[in-house]
Amino acid sequence: MHKAKAWSAASPTSGLAPTTIDRREPTETDVQIEILFCGICHSDLHQVRNEWKDVMPTAYPCIPGHEIVGRVTQVGSAVKKFKPGDLAAVGCMVDSDGTCASCKDGLEQFCPNLTLTYNFPDKHTGGVTYGGYSDSIVVDQRFVLRVPENLDLAGTAPLLCAGITTYSPMRHWNVTGGQKVGVVGLGGLGHMAVKIAHALGAHVVVFTTSPSKKDDALRLGADEIILSRNADEMKKHAGSFDFILDAVAAQHDINAYINMLRRDGHIVMVGAPDQPLPVSVFGLLMGRRSLSGSLIGGIAETQEMLDFCGQHNITADVEVIPIQKVNEAYERLVKSDVKYRFSIDMASLRSE
Q: In whole angstroms, give the CA distance from residue 34 to residue 49.
A: 27
Q: Please report which helix (H) or strand (E) contains residue 57, including its range.
A: none
Measured from the CB atom, is 47 or 208 closer to Zn ion? 47
Site size with ligand NAP, rule: CB under 6 A: 30
Strand 180-184 vs strand 241-246: parallel, antiparallel, or unpaired? Answer: parallel
Q: In whole angstroms, give the CA distance from residue 352 to residue 341.
A: 23
CA-CA distances (angstroms) from residue 69 to 3, 32, 283, 343? 19, 12, 42, 10
Please list every residue from 112 through 171 that binds Zn ion, using CB under 5 A.
161
Measured from the CB atom, is 207 or 241 closer to ligand NAP? 207
Query: Applying CB under 6 A, does 333 fall inside the site for ligand NAP?
Result: yes
Which of 59, 199, 272, 277 is in the footprint of ligand NAP by CB under 6 A? 272
163 makes contact, choosing from ligand NAP, Zn ion, none, with CB < 5 to 8 Å by partner type, with none
Judged by CB under 5 A, the stretch of 22-30, 36-44, 57-65, 308-316 that binds Zn ion is 36-44
Please list every residue from 40 through 99 that binds Zn ion, using CB under 5 A.
41, 43
Q: In whole angstroms, give the CA distance from residue 224 to residue 168.
A: 23
Q: How far is the CB of 162 from Zn ion (least distance, A)?
A: 7
CA-CA distances (angstroms) from residue 182 to 38, 109, 188, 236? 28, 25, 16, 13
Measured from the CB atom, is 16 or 270 closer to ligand NAP? 270
Which of 50, 210, 302, 343 is in the footprint of ligand NAP by CB under 6 A? 210
Q: Please report which helix (H) or strand (E) contains residue 313, including its range.
A: none
Measured from the CB atom, is 79 or 139 closer to Zn ion? 139
Residue nearest to ligand NAP (CB): 187
- The DSSP bridge partners found for residue 6 are 19, 134
* Cα dihedral sign, 125-9-320-196: positive
Query: Applying CB under 6 A, does 41 fall inside the site for ligand NAP?
Result: yes
Q: In whole angstroms, give the CA distance from residue 154 to residue 150.
A: 12
Judged by CB under 6 A, the stretch of 132-140, 148-156, 268-276, 299-307 that binds ligand NAP is 268-276
Residues of this chain that bind Zn ion (CB under 5 A): 41, 43, 161
